[in-house]
Amino acid sequence: MKATQKDFAAVVARAAREARVFFLCGQDEAGIQDGAARIVALLDDPGERIEFAGADLRRDPVRLGDEARSTSLFGGARHIVVRASGDEAAEALANLLDGQGEACPVIVLATNATDKSKTAKLLADRPDALVVTFWPPDLKSVAGAVRTMADAAGVRIDGAMAERIARAAGLDTRIARSEIAKLALYLDAGPEAPKSADAAAFEAIGASTEEDGFMPLVNAVLGGEAGRIPGELRRMRELGLNPVAVVLALERRAAQLAALASKLGPRSDVRQVIEAEKAARRIFWKDERDLTQQLKRWRGRRLERLVARTATLHRQLLANSQSAELFLAQGLAEIGRVAAAKG
Protein backbone atom coordinates (compact mmCIF):
# COMPACT_ATOMS: atom_id res chain seq x y z
CA MET A 1 0.00 0.00 0.00
CA LYS A 2 1.08 3.54 -0.66
CA ALA A 3 -0.36 6.70 0.89
CA THR A 4 0.30 10.41 0.93
CA GLN A 5 0.54 12.50 4.08
CA LYS A 6 -3.04 13.66 3.49
CA ASP A 7 -4.30 10.07 3.13
CA PHE A 8 -2.51 8.77 6.21
CA ALA A 9 -5.27 9.46 8.75
CA ALA A 10 -7.80 7.67 6.56
CA VAL A 11 -5.74 4.52 5.90
CA VAL A 12 -3.68 4.05 9.06
CA ALA A 13 -6.31 2.11 11.04
CA ARG A 14 -6.75 -0.48 8.26
CA ALA A 15 -3.00 -0.64 7.67
CA ALA A 16 -2.34 -1.28 11.37
CA ARG A 17 -4.62 -4.35 11.11
CA GLU A 18 -3.39 -5.68 7.76
CA ALA A 19 0.23 -4.59 7.25
CA ARG A 20 3.36 -5.89 8.99
CA VAL A 21 5.92 -3.45 7.54
CA PHE A 22 5.56 0.33 7.63
CA PHE A 23 7.97 2.63 5.76
CA LEU A 24 7.61 6.27 6.80
CA CYS A 25 9.83 8.54 4.73
CA GLY A 26 10.24 12.15 3.65
CA GLN A 27 11.65 15.38 5.06
CA ASP A 28 9.20 16.00 7.91
CA GLU A 29 10.78 14.20 10.85
CA ALA A 30 8.11 15.37 13.26
CA GLY A 31 5.38 14.01 10.96
CA ILE A 32 7.22 10.71 10.66
CA GLN A 33 7.56 10.41 14.44
CA ASP A 34 3.89 11.23 14.92
CA GLY A 35 2.95 8.70 12.24
CA ALA A 36 4.97 5.97 13.94
CA ALA A 37 3.36 6.74 17.30
CA ARG A 38 -0.08 6.57 15.68
CA ILE A 39 0.66 3.16 14.14
CA VAL A 40 1.94 1.74 17.44
CA ALA A 41 -1.15 3.04 19.24
CA LEU A 42 -3.39 1.23 16.73
CA LEU A 43 -1.65 -2.16 16.93
CA ASP A 44 -3.78 -4.77 18.69
CA ASP A 45 -0.92 -5.59 21.05
CA PRO A 46 2.30 -3.63 20.42
CA GLY A 47 4.08 -5.35 23.30
CA GLU A 48 7.83 -4.90 23.74
CA ARG A 49 9.58 -2.24 21.64
CA ILE A 50 12.86 -3.20 19.93
CA GLU A 51 14.95 -0.50 18.19
CA PHE A 52 17.60 -0.79 15.48
CA ALA A 53 19.74 1.72 13.65
CA GLY A 54 19.68 1.44 9.87
CA ALA A 55 23.49 1.31 9.79
CA ASP A 56 23.46 -1.83 11.96
CA LEU A 57 21.03 -3.57 9.60
CA ARG A 58 23.07 -2.57 6.58
CA ARG A 59 26.07 -4.36 8.13
CA ASP A 60 23.95 -7.38 9.14
CA PRO A 61 20.87 -7.58 6.85
CA VAL A 62 19.78 -10.97 8.27
CA ARG A 63 19.37 -9.63 11.80
CA LEU A 64 16.03 -7.91 11.25
CA GLY A 65 14.27 -11.06 10.02
CA ASP A 66 15.72 -13.13 12.87
CA GLU A 67 14.63 -10.59 15.48
CA ALA A 68 11.16 -10.10 13.98
CA ARG A 69 10.45 -13.83 14.16
CA SER A 70 12.03 -14.51 17.55
CA THR A 71 10.16 -14.70 20.84
CA SER A 72 10.06 -11.79 23.25
CA LEU A 73 12.15 -12.12 26.40
CA PHE A 74 8.91 -12.26 28.40
CA GLY A 75 7.03 -14.35 25.86
CA GLY A 76 4.67 -11.58 24.77
CA ALA A 77 4.15 -9.48 21.67
CA ARG A 78 6.74 -7.08 20.29
CA HIS A 79 7.27 -4.53 17.54
CA ILE A 80 10.44 -3.21 15.94
CA VAL A 81 11.33 0.41 15.15
CA VAL A 82 14.17 1.08 12.69
CA ARG A 83 15.73 4.54 12.38
CA ALA A 84 17.34 4.56 8.96
CA SER A 85 18.94 7.01 6.59
CA GLY A 86 17.94 6.53 2.96
CA ASP A 87 17.92 2.89 1.89
CA GLU A 88 20.04 1.51 4.76
CA ALA A 89 17.35 -1.04 5.67
CA ALA A 90 16.42 -2.11 2.12
CA GLU A 91 18.30 -5.43 2.07
CA ALA A 92 17.23 -6.27 5.62
CA LEU A 93 13.57 -5.67 4.70
CA ALA A 94 13.91 -7.80 1.56
CA ASN A 95 15.28 -10.64 3.68
CA LEU A 96 12.47 -10.19 6.21
CA LEU A 97 9.82 -10.42 3.50
CA ASP A 98 11.44 -13.48 1.93
CA GLY A 99 11.54 -15.36 5.23
CA GLN A 100 9.13 -17.99 6.47
CA GLY A 101 6.86 -17.69 9.50
CA GLU A 102 4.94 -14.86 11.11
CA ALA A 103 6.92 -11.72 11.93
CA CYS A 104 6.12 -8.90 14.32
CA PRO A 105 5.32 -5.39 13.00
CA VAL A 106 8.33 -3.43 11.73
CA ILE A 107 8.18 0.36 11.48
CA VAL A 108 10.97 2.08 9.53
CA LEU A 109 11.58 5.81 10.04
CA ALA A 110 13.61 7.02 7.05
CA THR A 111 13.90 10.81 6.99
CA ASN A 112 16.32 10.91 4.06
CA ALA A 113 14.32 8.66 1.74
CA THR A 114 11.41 9.33 -0.61
CA ASP A 115 8.63 7.28 -2.19
CA LYS A 116 10.98 6.85 -5.19
CA SER A 117 13.65 5.11 -3.11
CA LYS A 118 14.62 1.45 -3.49
CA THR A 119 12.93 0.57 -0.19
CA ALA A 120 9.68 2.30 -1.11
CA LYS A 121 9.55 0.51 -4.46
CA LEU A 122 10.13 -2.80 -2.69
CA LEU A 123 7.10 -2.26 -0.44
CA ALA A 124 4.63 -0.02 -2.30
CA ASP A 125 2.72 -2.75 -4.15
CA ARG A 126 2.52 -5.19 -1.26
CA PRO A 127 -0.79 -5.53 0.66
CA ASP A 128 1.16 -6.34 3.84
CA ALA A 129 3.17 -3.09 3.77
CA LEU A 130 2.47 0.64 3.95
CA VAL A 131 4.63 3.43 2.47
CA VAL A 132 3.88 7.02 3.50
CA THR A 133 5.80 10.16 2.54
CA PHE A 134 5.76 13.11 4.94
CA TRP A 135 6.63 16.54 3.57
CA PRO A 136 7.48 19.60 5.70
CA PRO A 137 4.25 21.28 6.82
CA ASP A 138 3.40 24.95 6.44
CA LEU A 139 2.21 27.28 9.19
CA LYS A 140 -1.47 26.77 8.36
CA SER A 141 -1.36 22.97 8.56
CA VAL A 142 0.64 22.92 11.81
CA ALA A 143 -1.69 25.50 13.36
CA GLY A 144 -4.60 23.23 12.44
CA ALA A 145 -2.84 20.28 14.07
CA VAL A 146 -2.21 22.39 17.18
CA ARG A 147 -5.93 23.18 17.47
CA THR A 148 -6.75 19.48 17.16
CA MET A 149 -4.23 18.62 19.91
CA ALA A 150 -5.63 21.38 22.09
CA ASP A 151 -9.24 20.20 21.63
CA ALA A 152 -8.22 16.67 22.64
CA ALA A 153 -6.47 18.01 25.74
CA GLY A 154 -9.37 20.22 26.78
CA VAL A 155 -7.54 23.47 25.97
CA ARG A 156 -9.58 26.01 24.03
CA ILE A 157 -7.49 28.26 21.76
CA ASP A 158 -8.26 30.49 18.78
CA GLY A 159 -6.54 30.55 15.40
CA ALA A 160 -4.08 33.28 16.37
CA MET A 161 -2.94 31.37 19.46
CA ALA A 162 -2.61 28.15 17.43
CA GLU A 163 -0.33 29.97 14.96
CA ARG A 164 1.73 31.42 17.80
CA ILE A 165 2.27 27.99 19.33
CA ALA A 166 3.13 26.54 15.90
CA ARG A 167 5.77 29.23 15.31
CA ALA A 168 7.18 28.85 18.82
CA ALA A 169 7.57 25.12 18.15
CA GLY A 170 9.40 25.75 14.89
CA LEU A 171 6.54 24.02 13.04
CA ASP A 172 7.50 20.85 14.92
CA THR A 173 4.38 19.02 16.10
CA ARG A 174 6.32 17.13 18.79
CA ILE A 175 7.32 20.36 20.48
CA ALA A 176 3.83 21.79 19.95
CA ARG A 177 2.29 18.75 21.65
CA SER A 178 4.57 19.31 24.63
CA GLU A 179 3.45 22.96 24.83
CA ILE A 180 -0.22 21.93 24.76
CA ALA A 181 0.41 19.40 27.53
CA LYS A 182 2.04 22.11 29.65
CA LEU A 183 -0.87 24.46 28.99
CA ALA A 184 -3.38 21.79 30.03
CA LEU A 185 -1.45 21.15 33.25
CA TYR A 186 -1.13 24.88 34.00
CA LEU A 187 -4.84 25.49 33.42
CA ASP A 188 -5.92 22.24 35.10
CA ALA A 189 -7.81 21.51 31.89
CA GLY A 190 -9.02 18.20 30.52
CA PRO A 191 -11.48 16.74 28.00
CA GLU A 192 -14.19 16.71 30.68
CA ALA A 193 -13.32 20.18 31.99
CA PRO A 194 -12.06 22.33 29.09
CA LYS A 195 -10.42 25.70 29.79
CA SER A 196 -9.54 28.64 27.55
CA ALA A 197 -5.89 29.57 27.06
CA ASP A 198 -4.78 33.11 26.27
CA ALA A 199 -1.42 34.78 25.58
CA ALA A 200 -0.75 35.26 29.30
CA ALA A 201 -1.14 31.53 29.97
CA PHE A 202 1.21 30.66 27.11
CA GLU A 203 3.84 33.10 28.36
CA ALA A 204 3.48 31.72 31.87
CA ILE A 205 4.55 28.21 30.85
CA GLY A 206 7.85 29.66 29.64
CA ALA A 207 7.80 28.63 25.98
CA SER A 208 10.71 30.02 23.96
CA THR A 209 9.78 31.54 20.61
CA GLU A 210 11.78 30.86 17.48
CA GLU A 211 13.05 34.44 17.39
CA ASP A 212 14.27 34.35 21.00
CA GLY A 213 15.39 30.72 20.96
CA PHE A 214 16.67 28.47 18.24
CA MET A 215 16.58 30.41 15.00
CA PRO A 216 19.37 32.98 15.54
CA LEU A 217 21.78 30.08 16.03
CA VAL A 218 20.34 28.09 13.10
CA ASN A 219 20.55 31.14 10.82
CA ALA A 220 24.14 31.90 11.86
CA VAL A 221 25.18 28.32 11.05
CA LEU A 222 23.36 27.92 7.73
CA GLY A 223 24.27 31.46 6.67
CA GLY A 224 27.98 30.75 7.14
CA GLU A 225 28.36 33.49 9.78
CA ALA A 226 31.17 31.71 11.63
CA GLY A 227 31.94 34.70 13.83
CA ARG A 228 28.43 34.65 15.33
CA ILE A 229 28.30 30.94 16.16
CA PRO A 230 30.34 30.98 19.43
CA GLY A 231 28.21 33.80 20.82
CA GLU A 232 24.99 32.06 19.82
CA LEU A 233 26.18 28.84 21.49
CA ARG A 234 26.84 30.80 24.70
CA ARG A 235 23.35 32.28 24.46
CA MET A 236 21.93 28.79 23.98
CA ARG A 237 23.54 27.66 27.24
CA GLU A 238 22.40 30.81 29.08
CA LEU A 239 18.80 30.27 27.97
CA GLY A 240 18.99 26.58 28.83
CA LEU A 241 17.94 25.49 25.33
CA ASN A 242 17.90 21.73 24.79
CA PRO A 243 20.60 20.66 22.26
CA VAL A 244 18.20 18.14 20.68
CA ALA A 245 15.58 20.87 20.26
CA VAL A 246 18.21 23.04 18.55
CA VAL A 247 19.07 20.24 16.14
CA LEU A 248 15.36 19.68 15.46
CA ALA A 249 15.11 23.36 14.45
CA LEU A 250 18.16 22.89 12.21
CA GLU A 251 16.62 19.79 10.63
CA ARG A 252 13.35 21.63 10.09
CA ARG A 253 15.13 24.48 8.29
CA ALA A 254 17.19 22.04 6.18
CA ALA A 255 13.97 20.27 5.16
CA GLN A 256 12.36 23.63 4.35
CA LEU A 257 15.33 24.53 2.14
CA ALA A 258 15.04 21.15 0.39
CA ALA A 259 11.35 21.77 -0.29
CA LEU A 260 12.09 25.24 -1.67
CA ALA A 261 15.00 23.96 -3.76
CA SER A 262 12.68 21.40 -5.38
CA LYS A 263 10.69 24.33 -6.81
CA LEU A 264 13.74 25.89 -8.44
CA GLY A 265 14.33 25.03 -12.09
CA PRO A 266 17.82 25.19 -13.67
CA ARG A 267 17.46 28.94 -14.22
CA SER A 268 14.89 29.83 -11.56
CA ASP A 269 15.43 32.94 -9.51
CA VAL A 270 15.66 32.35 -5.76
CA ARG A 271 14.04 35.67 -4.98
CA GLN A 272 11.09 34.88 -7.24
CA VAL A 273 10.47 31.52 -5.52
CA ILE A 274 10.71 33.08 -2.04
CA GLU A 275 8.28 35.85 -3.00
CA ALA A 276 5.78 33.29 -4.33
CA GLU A 277 6.03 31.21 -1.15
CA LYS A 278 5.59 34.28 1.03
CA ALA A 279 2.53 35.37 -0.97
CA ALA A 280 1.05 31.88 -0.48
CA ARG A 281 1.74 32.17 3.28
CA ARG A 282 3.95 29.09 3.22
CA ILE A 283 6.84 31.03 4.77
CA PHE A 284 6.83 33.68 7.47
CA TRP A 285 7.85 37.16 6.34
CA LYS A 286 10.53 37.40 9.04
CA ASP A 287 12.29 34.37 7.50
CA GLU A 288 12.41 35.83 3.98
CA ARG A 289 15.93 37.32 4.18
CA ASP A 290 17.51 34.30 5.88
CA LEU A 291 15.83 31.78 3.56
CA THR A 292 16.97 33.73 0.50
CA GLN A 293 20.58 33.77 1.65
CA GLN A 294 20.57 30.14 2.74
CA LEU A 295 18.93 28.84 -0.44
CA LYS A 296 21.72 30.48 -2.45
CA ARG A 297 24.29 28.60 -0.37
CA TRP A 298 22.60 25.20 -0.06
CA ARG A 299 21.59 23.58 -3.35
CA GLY A 300 21.86 20.20 -5.10
CA ARG A 301 24.25 17.65 -3.60
CA ARG A 302 25.42 20.17 -1.04
CA LEU A 303 21.87 20.40 0.33
CA GLU A 304 21.44 16.61 0.28
CA ARG A 305 24.60 16.27 2.39
CA LEU A 306 23.29 18.91 4.81
CA VAL A 307 20.03 16.97 5.34
CA ALA A 308 21.99 13.76 5.93
CA ARG A 309 24.47 15.50 8.28
CA THR A 310 21.73 16.99 10.46
CA ALA A 311 20.06 13.57 10.79
CA THR A 312 23.41 12.04 11.83
CA LEU A 313 23.98 14.83 14.34
CA HIS A 314 20.52 14.21 15.80
CA ARG A 315 21.32 10.51 16.31
CA GLN A 316 24.66 11.43 17.94
CA LEU A 317 22.95 13.68 20.48
CA LEU A 318 20.37 11.02 21.36
CA ALA A 319 23.08 8.41 21.84
CA ASN A 320 25.39 10.68 23.86
CA SER A 321 23.11 12.80 26.02
CA GLN A 322 25.82 13.68 28.56
CA SER A 323 28.05 15.13 25.83
CA ALA A 324 25.21 16.56 23.72
CA GLU A 325 26.37 20.17 23.95
CA LEU A 326 29.88 19.24 22.82
CA PHE A 327 28.65 17.18 19.87
CA LEU A 328 26.24 19.97 18.93
CA ALA A 329 28.95 22.63 19.01
CA GLN A 330 31.27 20.49 16.87
CA GLY A 331 28.53 19.66 14.37
CA LEU A 332 27.33 23.24 14.03
CA ALA A 333 30.88 24.54 13.60
CA GLU A 334 31.45 22.01 10.81
CA ILE A 335 28.24 22.96 9.00
CA GLY A 336 29.01 26.66 9.49
CA ARG A 337 32.46 26.26 7.87
CA VAL A 338 30.90 24.58 4.84
CA ALA A 339 28.32 27.36 4.54
CA ALA A 340 31.02 30.05 4.84
CA ALA A 341 33.06 28.41 2.08
CA LYS A 342 30.12 28.90 -0.31
CA GLY A 343 30.35 32.64 0.16
**CA–CA separation, 101 vs 282, rounded Å?**
47
pLDDT at residue 95 in the model: 94
Q: Are residue 127 and residue 241 in the same domain, yes or no?
A: no
Residue 331 and residue 341: Cα distance in Å, rounded?
16
Residue 164 has a pLDDT of 86
Q: Is the dihedral of CA 278, 282, 285, 289 positive or negative?
A: negative
Residues in the chain: 343
**CATH code for the domain of 218:** 1.20.272.10
pLDDT at site 36: 92
pLDDT reported for residue 33: 84
> Which domain covers residue 33, as residue numbers?
2-134
Note whether 219 and 314 are same-domain residues: yes
Largest CA distance in the chain: 60
Is 61 in the same domain as 79?
yes
Number of domains in the chain: 3
Cβ atoms 34, 8 nearer than 8 A? no
Residues 7 and 112 grouped into a single domain: yes
Helix (H, G, I), strand (E, B) or coil at 105: coil
Same domain, 331 and 228: yes
Residue 12 has a pLDDT of: 92
Cα torsion 322, 323, 324, 330 to 10°: value is 180
Q: Within this chain, do residues 325 and 239 fall inside the same structural domain, yes or no?
A: yes
pLDDT, position 311? 87
User: pTM value?
Assistant: 0.56
What pLDDT is attached to residue 267? Answer: 62
Residue 120's CATH number? 3.40.50.300
- State whether 188 and 125 are in the same domain: no
Same structural domain for residues 186 and 258? no
Residues of the chain with pLDDT under 70: 72-75, 206-213, 265-267, 342-343
**Given 134, 164, 184, which residue is the final one in a domain?**
134
Query: Do 18 and 36 belong together in one domain?
Result: yes
Question: Is there a single domain that holds both residue 225 and residue 320?
Answer: yes
pLDDT at 215: 85
pLDDT for the residue 211: 47
* pLDDT the model gives residue 155: 95
Rounded-to-integer distance, Cα 56 and Cα 88, Å: 9
Same domain as 334, residue 240: yes
Of 75, 100, 134, the position where a domain reaches its end is: 134
Asked whether residue 216 falls in the same domain as residue 201, the answer is: no
